[in-house]
Structures are given as structure tokens and as C-alpha cells.
Structure 1
């Protein structure tokens, strides 16, 4: 059963947040190439690029190996209620609040030892999610599926699982009112830090500790400020800030008691409101608005939710090693269907990657604010926790997975992660070799099929309008090559790029690889001279240049 990701969760704050449509934008329809000036300085803004930014969620061994994926996360709503003792999960709101036995053949249902073994066999590092919800799945005597909102027990419901467990309803009574007072024991059993400590101890016994090749990263649950929506069968009241703060401390101590070198990843919050308001306040705001929210007024003494969590954790010692959030653009860019979308959405996708970095970009959707997420995360840990703490975006997806527009956005996102100094990132959603976004990953990680990759030391690269054409550059240590990714995001217009190269060989040959029309191909080498590389870039394309200089590349 799929775990459905819901990007438009602003509906839970109806009337509380400003709603606005994405501004319409008209693409250039001219076939005349757009002249673009790009500047690269191989001596400026040098810093390491973390290899962990190229991670994914639930990657198959084949995908992990082909894309040389460094980190593979097992997360999502089912992870919040995974019972490691019986290998069962509860899907929550994603699928009729059913507790089901894990299907060993489906990578998307792996949360335990099987996930670790498959990930490590493919050369990647696993991120295992530890539930903090307080209850986990249980099964019937013969491992049969159980329903939290049984139709036989709670009466007719407007929607039920017609293709699976027919007794499982959607938890809504006649008239549209949610069913209250269901028995949590119907499909779940209590869980606590001691049980999860035993789980980590079991993983250590099988795979070794974090310092000896075992599981290194443990994420503490998944989007806890949405428990009252995604897991309302067992947690109908929104989580208070104090509950999440104390649970992270308790479960971190449990994990580290079993493996002192384990790295804790938290709080795994879902999106913009989940950064500033607790689950209790989000639930309250759905009915009363954001004025005078109880947790903000009482528990956090006026502080935003996530910064307050960081301050509480610092006061408790050092329970969190990686500060992690989730982010999905909210202008229609991400849609699970993966089909074609409108020109307006495509243009929004081109520019909304600015939400990751640009302090001058005000998100035009209901967010209605400057996001600049990576600098914001860095500022929060430096101010409220320990400066230099690793920061991660463990769920994101810019949509358009089957479209070249999605590939140009994904390539842009990966470039931004490296340039802005993010430490860990794992993309949410299916990846397979037929998809343009898959090839965007491959261009950075294994463009020639033999392990050749984008460089590991970021250097300065800029274009005059990153909404149309963006550029990212990095030096590669093994051969001292300068790798340059240039992305033409324009929907139907080519670009003529003039790349000014500073502090690098003024002339030479650039090996050229290009993703266009969902094909990743090697093109003829491009020569550059007098410190300038000139190239024609098709509409909706990603081009990688590998520059070694004349003295390093003799034909």
C-alpha cells in the first residue's frame, strides 16, 4: 500500500494563513537563443560539498548502486508506527489506518533489518526511523490486517478499503464528523523508549555499532506536529511542544544507550507551519486562527516552535546530532501523479527553488514569506543549539518527475544544496531510470556509468537570472578538473552561454555531457580559450562541462 505524501497541508490552517495564487508568468516564446553571461571563479567561495546531499528515500539496491547514492532513508508515516518485533506497520491516514504485515518484496515497506541489509549491500548508509508516537502496529493471530476504524465496530463510513481490508473505514462518521473515542487497542499496542532501545541493540548485534559499520543515523519519528492528522486513531490531540521536546530527549538517550556513537536526526518536521507552531497549536489554529495559540503563549513563551525545541535540547545536553526538516514547494509543483502540469506550475517550479536559499525571494503562495530555508536552518542551530551542527532536509520533492522541467528543477536543487553547504538531503518519491529526474541525479553522481561525478569542492559560479539559467561549479580532487553544471530552465527557448573562467586554465578542452529530451548523452568536446567557454544550451536541459585545461588534456 502506498504511503501518500500530502504537500498541501495548509488546509489544516484554513482561515489562519494568507492564501494567494502563484503569480502568472509568461515564458519567452521566441526561438532566438537567450544570451546568458555566467561567471566562474575557481579560487572564490571554496568549501567542501557533503556527499550526503545526494540521498534518497527507499532506494532499491539497483538504484542505489547506479546513482552511487550515499544515504538511504526509511521514513514516512508508516515508520511512526512500525513494530520491529513483528515486522508490521500502521499506515495511518495514508491507507485507512490499517495495521498490516510488511511485504518483504516491497522496498517501500522496509523499516527494519531488511532495509539496513539491502542498503548496506548497495554501498549506501541507512537512516532508520525510530517511532516516538507511543503506539505501534499490531496484527491478528494469523498476522491478519487490523483496522483502527472497523466498520463492523464503529458503523458505516463514507470511504473504506474496497481493494483490501473491506472492514477498514476512513474514520469518518456519517455527516463528515471524525469518529472520536475509538479504542487504540484495536490495531495498535503501546511502545516506549525501552522497546526502541532493544530494537537498536538488536541492530547493533546484527550489524555492529555506528562506529563499526552498523547503522549510523537514527531519525526520531516523522512529522510529529501532524500526528493528530496522520495518526489520529492513536494520537487525536495535536502534540504539545513539550511532548516533542521531552520525547526526543528520552528516545535519543535510549538509542545512545544501545549505541553511544549513533547520530540522532530530528525533529523531522513537515513544512512551514510545522517550523513555527506545535501540533497542538496547528490543530487549534484550524478552528481559531493563529492569534493567541496556546503553546506559543504558554509552553514556548512566545518563541517559534522549532527554535524553542533546539533551546530545550541544548539545555538537556546534546541529544540531537543532525537538525532535520522537510520541505515541499506549495505552488502546485509537487504532485504524486507525476503527469504533465500547466505552464504556470512549470514556471513556478523554475523559480521556487529560491525558497532554499534566497533572502530576497518572498514565496508567493500561502506561505507569503521569505523562506531561505538553508540559511534559516543554519541560523537556528547557531543561535539556539550548537554552532556548526549538521543540518539536513530529509524529505523534499519539486515534482515533475517524468518531465524535463522536473529534471531541471532537481538539478538546480542538488546544485543549491552543494553551494549553500547543506549537510544531508534525501529526496522523497520513486526514482527509476526512465525518469528525467533520475538522470539529473546521475549527471551529478555517475554520468559516465563508471563513477565519474561532479566535484566535491564548491567554487563560485553565478548567472544573471537563475530563474532562467543557473550554474554551479566544483573542483574535483582526483584529476583537478573543474566541473560546471549549467541548467537552462526555459520551457521553449535555447540559450547561448558565455562562461567567464577565473583562476583556472585559460584555454583547453571541456568534456561535455548533456541531459535533454530525457536522454543523457556525451556530446563532442568543447574547446575554450582566453578564459571563456561558449556553449549553446537547448531549452529544458542540464549540461555538465568537465574542464581540465590544455596541459591536462592532450588529444
Structure 2
């Protein structure tokens, strides 16, 4: 049976499942094969390619269920409110009489008692149509699967199932055309946008160059047990817990190749350093090894039948439970900090120290809080708060000892549960209930990550150096957005759920059922417990890479990252070149094919309803242009967008660049821009970038005021709001010294200067930089 913690994490394996777009009224689960991202998690004996009997098409599902065993299909968590019914066809085989129940599932457990079926008829098909309201109680939130289970506690004769579907509710009426006013203030909410929020993962040099992104991450479950000495990795739960050698046997080749690819495109590489205490090992001649050998541990509910049939999934076919008696040394070997120190030395020898252009970012492992699930073959018990602190500190100390300029990144927590609970408590809570969690109780009720930050501050102070430079988490929406589902209900959910990144009033609509407000939350934790630590999100995705809805979500997320002041982000993974999601990134980083970018100083931009249309704005330091990104999320109906700007001196015209469902970034005719206003009609599901050229500001005027207090000189600087000016002084009119540099938020700025020094002084002002 699937472990409870696993359902929370949308794993890498879902990337292997091709989802297909369906009609809006039906989402197929099984139609000759699993569809739309659904996966087989059955612990009954199941064949998905049975050829007789078949209700429709060429194949059906045969099921032989022992006591309490089930046909179980799992999906990334989704909101069942968009569906009205679960429907399927079932056949009782030659004997009939099977007694079964249907239940909806969340986190590996049924969410309600479900619905019992009447004993099946022999030798005939019958359609079952069950209301979603009969399976999911009101207020449940997200679910992640359904199972069809023996309800008697005894073995059932073989039966057959076919044509399983979810029936959606009625499609909402089309959105009517509307006028939306966006207000942009170049003098308000100004702060630098870190270019490192535009990072990706596992990108090639060509992909990095096409997207013009500055950061490339190597991470994920397979990096947790990477063995640099033999260049091999264990693929953990993502792929049958197999230890597999990479193409080259050269020590450290995988990391070196990744660094080389990244640097060739001008991107900073981020490399994961294992801390789990185990690494992969290989057999003779670099042969694969299995953690759950079927020959050794018996039949299992799934195996790598095509490439390595002896490798099972670690779920016993006879019991339906996880195998917990395996030898962790079967496919892995124990290591410590000294082993990884050899790799750090290798990296600094090959690439130099961080201060001279070597590897800068060292990530300390991946998703510690679910090791007991993803790496249960070697770590069957969840990590405690103390252990995470101690392991992290030990490895960070080792790395900084070899390369003092290295930046330590972590702890790469998977999501909401790990933000609040240790791996130990997550495992305990899934087995015993979420009251009286022992690890939390042993730490005075602290939430997991605030306690970790506070402890890292203390450990760093004792060490005399920072042991954590970038505080990072992962964030995947939990309502199914990460997959390829583009039904109407899911598109609306994608449009809304980006609020979880920033909105302090938005209650997450999934099982989380709380105000996530991710970036404000993380920044608040850092400010309270370890000030000065940078904040990053090193895995995220809103899915639907091949659909414009995924593109608008991606553009929305990047705009949020910049506006909210996130320091670093890497998308999981790099979208393929030319996909809508990839083009959404290019709208910020390479919209014209010449590496022109969105601005690097965020300014205030507001739109009335970000669920339908969001807007972000920034000034570009290279030429002073104001860039405004408008993301129209509505599924139908165009919008007349009126952009009102203040505190910006524009040049009279604006470039317009646009990405639509046609999936091509096009430059549209320039727009006239006068009196701080421009307008344009933009289509549904589009991303539009307005580039307003800056006019040369008039020279500043410096004048003497008349209300100076005694012993002071009052000066007024008149200039252009949103522009920086320097005030300089001189005693001889040839050598000028800076007094201050200020960004004007209005058209005038008052200075009060002491006149107690009897020396004569002259003052002047100029735009900064001149």
C-alpha cells in the first residue's frame, strides 16, 4: 500500500506518465490504458492489458483480489468539486458474486466509508455510476485516488473493469469582454529583482542559452545517493530503488559534466551533496543492483519488468505492505563526511574555489522529511529535528573548511508538511494520528523549519562562519495543477492557486486548508530566526507545459517571485524548448531573441482581480525602460487593458510583445503613450509585455529653501520621480564629494545640511549615475 507521506509529494515518476487532453465533460482514468496522469498503485494482482472479456476497445483490467486487496489508481492531488460522478464498467467473470467497495483516497487512506457494490453478476458487464458526493464528504478538499477493494476480508474470484471515467460538472459560461485598469507607480515599492529567480533544473547548454536563465540546479531524489567515486546513483522510489551506473566510470563525471554544461551558457550551477549517509554501489562490471530483489524478498506488486525484472517496488504481493526486512547494503553502502569531502576537494581542484569562479552553490541533499518514504530501503525511520540540524551542520562545516567562499543551500524541504513537522513526526503522524507528535513535543512545540533556522543561527555563531547561506524549500500546488490536466475546472484552479505563494488571506483549497502565504512566511521566519539569510524555492511547477494555461501560470509565478522579493528559484525541470511554458520564461528573459529582459528593479503594479488578470512592472537599469507584464488568465473573452503610470517619464511609444495560445512570441505594432496612459485589447489566455522607453529627464534644479532651522541650510532638489540623483559638495568648485544619493519618490526632495563648519561650501546635484 502507498505510504501516507508519499501522496503528499508529487514525485518524479509522474513525469514519466504522458497525460492526454480530453473533452471538458469527461476525464478518462482508464480507456485501454491509464490516461491523464493516473497511475496504477494497486496491491491486488492486476493486469491492465487483459484481452478477454473487454467492454469496449481492445483491452480491459483483470483483478484478482486477496483479503482487503484493491485495484487502486492514484493521481496528483486534485479538487473533486469539479466532478459529479465516477463511472466504470465491471464484469463478474465466470463465477460472479464478488463483494467490493469503492472509496476515494487521500494520503493513502480512504476519506469516507465509500459505497458498497451489490454482488457482481457472472458473465456480464454492468455500468456503475457513483456520485462524487457519496465518496467525498463535504469540506474534504483534495483527493488523490480511488480504489475498488474487497470488503469481506476474504479472497475474491477474478473480475474485470473497463472504461473508468470522471464526469465533470457543467462548463462555466464564457467570460465577457471587460475593461481592466492597471496602475503602475515607478516611485513605489522599488527593490531589486534577483536574476536568480529565473533558474531551472537539469538544462543543457542550448536550453540555458535559449531561455537566457542564470541558474541551473542538479537535484532531486537520485542525487541523494550519488556516489561520486564510481559515478553512479540509486534512483530510490522514483525507479524501483535501483542503483544504476551513469555513462562514464570516471569519478565525479556527472557533476563535472553538469558544471561544464552550465558554465558554457553563462549559468551558475547548483550541485547537490548527499548527506543521508548512504551512496549507491554497483555489481561486477558496473551491473545494476536492486534494493528489493524479487529473488531475495519474494513477489512484489510491481517490478522493472522491461529493464531489470528482478528489481521490485518494495511492496509485498502477498501482504500489500512495504517490505521492511530488506538489507540496506544490497544496493547501497555507508559513507560519512570524509567520503563527500573527497568530492568537494575534487570539485575545487577541477574548477577552483568559489571566490575565483568555481562552484558557488552547494545544496545539502534533498527533501529530508520524506527520506523514510523515497529512500525507505536505507532510511526506514523518519529524520528527527536534531538529526537534520546535526547532519546539516557537519556537512556545511566540512564544505566551508575546504572552500570558505562556498554558499550552502538547504534544507530543500518538500512541502507544507515538512515546513511544520520533522520526517520522524510525519511518519509517526501518518501511523498514529497527528496529536501528541513526539519530536515536536521534545522541542517545545516548535515548527520544524523555524526551529532549524534558529539552530543554524546558533551553530553558525559558534562556528564563526555562516553554515546556511540560502534557506530553500520546494513548493508544488497540491490540487493536481502539476500534471497535464487542462480541463476547465483545473485551468481555473491553476489561475487561483498561485495565490498560495503570496496572498496572506488566501486559504489553500487542497488538503492543506490553511493560509500558506509561502514567500511572506519564509521571509518572516528568516527575519525572526536567522536574519540575512537568503530565501529560495528550488523546486516548483504549475504543470501543463504544453498548454497556454501552463504558460500563464508560469508567467504569473515569475512575476510573483520578483514582486515579492524572492532571492532564488529553480523550476522543476527545464521546460522543453518551444513549449508554451518555455516561452513564458522567455517573455521575461529573451522575448526578442536578443536576450532582452524584463526590468531588474521592481515597482508597484496593481490589477483588480489577479485570479483573472495579473500585472507586474519593473524598471530596466540598462536603458531606464519601464517594463509591464500583463497576464490575462481568463479562458475566453478579451480585455481592454488601460495602463496608468505615474512617476515615470516616458518617451511617447511602447513596444508590445505577446504570447498567446498560438505559442509564438510576436512583436505587435507600437502603441502611443501620452499623459502616463496607454491602452490595448489583449486576448484571453495571453501574456503581454509592454516596454515603455524612458525619456531623458530634465536636469535637476537645486534651490535654497526659506525654512531652515538655526545652524542648518535648507536645500530643495527638483527632479523626476523615480529617478536617482546625487547631491555633491565642494570647497573649490573643482573637487566634488558626494553628500548623498537619493531616489525621488515625488518631484522634490528636501535636504537639511549643517552650517556649523565655517568653511565655504558649494553644492550641486546630478542624475545618478550621471
The bucket for the TM-score relative to the shorter chain is: over 0.9
Aligned counterpart for 1:546 among listed residues 691, 701, 719: 691
Contact in 1 for aligned 2:200/2:574 (Cα 8 Å): no
- How far did 1:111 drift? 4.8
In the other structure, the counterpart of 1:250 is 394
Secondary structure of the 1:381 match is helix
2:280 is equivalent to residue 137 of structure 1: yes
C-alpha separation in 1, matches of 2:187 and 2:332? 57
Is 1:158 the counterpart of 2:305? The answer is: no
CA–CA distance in 2 between the matches of 1:354 and 1:93? Answer: 31
Q: 2:547 aligns with which of 395, 403, 409?
A: 403
C-alpha displacement at 1:341, in angstroms?
2.2
Give the alignment partner of residue 521 of structure 1, picking from 666, 678, 686.
666
Matches within 5 A, 1:353-364: 353-364=498-509
Q: Structure 2 regions of 5+ residues with no counterpart? A: 1-10, 16-75, 79-105, 113-138, 144-167, 461-465, 698-770
The residue aligned with 2:677 is 532
1:123-202, aligned counterparts within 5 Å? 123-173=266-316, 174-202=318-346
Contact 2:624–2:694 (CA under 8 A) maintained in structure 1? no
Secondary structure (helix, strand or coil) at the match of 1:487 reads: strand
* Matched position secondary structure for 1:166: strand
Pairwise CA distance, 1:99: 0.1
Q: Does 1:491 align with 2:587?
A: no
**Residue-by-residue CA offset, 1:234-277 (whole Å, 9 max, x unaligned):** 00011111111100000101111111110000110000001001
Q: 1:305 aligns with which of 437, 448, 452?
A: 448
Q: CA deviation at 1:15?
A: 7.2
Q: Which has the higher contact order (CA 8 A, sep 6+)?
A: 1
- Helix, strand or coil for the counterpart of 2:656? strand
Shift of 1:334: 0.7
Q: Name the one with the larger helix percent.
A: 1
Deviation, 1:24, is 8.8
Match of 1:325 in 2: 473
- Structure 1 position 434, deviation (Å): 2.6
The Cα of 1:115 is off from its aligned counterpart by: 0.8
1:315 aligns with 2:458: yes
Cα pair 1:269 1:324 within 8 Å, conserved: yes
Question: How many angstroms does 1:103 deviate by?
Answer: 3.7
Instruction: Establish whether residue 378 from structure 1 lines up as the match of residue 523 from structure 2.
Output: yes
CA RMSD of aligned residues (A): 2.3
Task: Return the offset for 1:117.
Answer: 1.2
401-410 or 170-179, which moves further after superposition? 170-179
Cα deviation, 1:477-532, whole Å, max 9, x if unaligned, reads 11110011001000112111111110113661111100002111111111122211
What does residue 449 of structure 1 align with?
593
SS of alignment partner, residue 224 of structure 2? helix
CA offsets, 1:71-110, max 9 Å, x none?
Answer: 10000000001000000000000000000012469xxx98
Pairing of 1:75-474 with structure 2 (within 5 A): 75-103=219-247, 111-173=254-316, 174-298=318-442, 300-317=443-460, 318-335=466-483, 338=484, 340-385=485-530, 387-474=531-618
- Cα separation, partners in 2 of 1:507 and 1:206, compared to 1, 3 Å: closer
Cα 1:26/1:275, change in 2 over 3 Å: farther
Matched residues in 1 for 2:169 and 2:208: separation? 38
Q: Could you tell me how far 1:53 is from its partner in structure 2?
A: 0.1
Could you say if the C-alpha distance between residues 28 and 520 of structure 1 is closer, same or farther in structure 2, counting changes exceeding 3 Å?
A: farther
Deviation at 1:156, TM superposition (A): 1.1
1:301, distance to aligned residue in structure 2 (A): 1.6
How far the C-alpha of 1:417 sits from its partner, in A, is 0.4
CA distance in 2, matches of 1:134, 1:13: 31
CA distance in 1, matches of 2:448, 2:553: 30
Tell me the distance in 2 between the aligned counterparts of 1:541 and 1:311. Answer: 43
Q: Work out the CA distance in 2 between the residues paired with 1:334 and 1:436.
A: 15
- Asked whether the equivalents of residues 111 and 129 of structure 1 are also in contact (C-alpha less than 8 Å), the reply is no
Deviation >6 Å, runs of 4+: 13-16, 22-26
Instruction: Determine if contact 1:13/1:286 at 8 Å carries over to the other structure.
Output: no
1:3, distance to aligned residue in structure 2 (A): 4.0
User: Closer, same or farther in 2 for the Cα pair 1:29/1:110, shift >3 Å?
Assistant: farther
Measured in 1, the distance between the counterparts of 2:664 and 2:360 equals: 36
